[in-house]
Amino acid sequence: MIDALFGSKTRVKLLHLFMNHPGEAFYVREITRLIEEQINSVRRELSNMMGVGVITSDSADNKLYYKVNEDYEFYTALRAIFANEPIAVTTSAAPAATDDAAVVGRFESILETVPALRLAVVAGSLVRGSSSPVDLLIVGNVSAAKVAAAVKAIERQEKQELNYTVLPYDEFYYRLSVRDKFLTQILTAKHSIVIDKDNVLRQK
């Protein structure tokens, strides 16, 4: 899944290495040993990553060393994906989430039946006063069939059809970090966080 999203297995391994070792520099042959990939593939991906600014290089002791560029525009997003570093969500311009216990209670038991679900947000027609474009946002590497069954159960309970969106966890994290317009519309409208297993939106 993540290999397809980022283009190559070698690139993903390099991102894991650099994002988990900010401030540390590595030379090419050291990198090939650490990630167990061929040197030509490593050189090619290092060149690509240099080209977009993800990493920087410097010479020392007749060797070329590479390290992550902590000033890179999407550094925080990549750290969130590859180093499991939580993203602080800025909410100063957003209305407070309703997160009402009664609202959450209507949906929690149904949504908890979906294996691998990490985050569920209700909004739109399910939350009074919400201008969200969707009624239900589901995040996780979930089964489409399980999600469909849960949505049908909620539709029967609420006696209405729902407009819902499902995002894989990595994609959600990335889109959140870059303030994706679609997610912003949901999260700046009134909404209730039903499930948030990683405390992504319930930051203290």
CATH classification at residue 134: 3.30.460
Domain count across the chain: 2
Q: Which domain holds residue 157?
A: 101-196
| Integer Cα distance of 141 and 106 in angstroms | 23
Higher pLDDT, 204 or 157: 157
Residue 118 belongs to some domain of the structure:
yes
- So what's the pLDDT on residue 100? 58
User: Of 17, 47, 82, which marks where a domain is finished?
Assistant: 82
CATH of the domain at 70: 1.10.10.10
Q: pLDDT of 137-174, one tens digit each? A: 999 999 999 999 999 999 999 999 999 999 998 899 88
Higher pLDDT, 75 or 42: 42
Q: Are 46 and 34 in contact (CB under 8 A)?
A: no
User: Does residue 154 sit in the same domain as residue 185?
Assistant: yes
User: Does residue 68 sit in the same domain as residue 106?
Assistant: no
Asked if the model's pLDDT at residue 203 lies above 90, the reply is no
Phi, psi of 20 (to 5 degrees): -90, -5
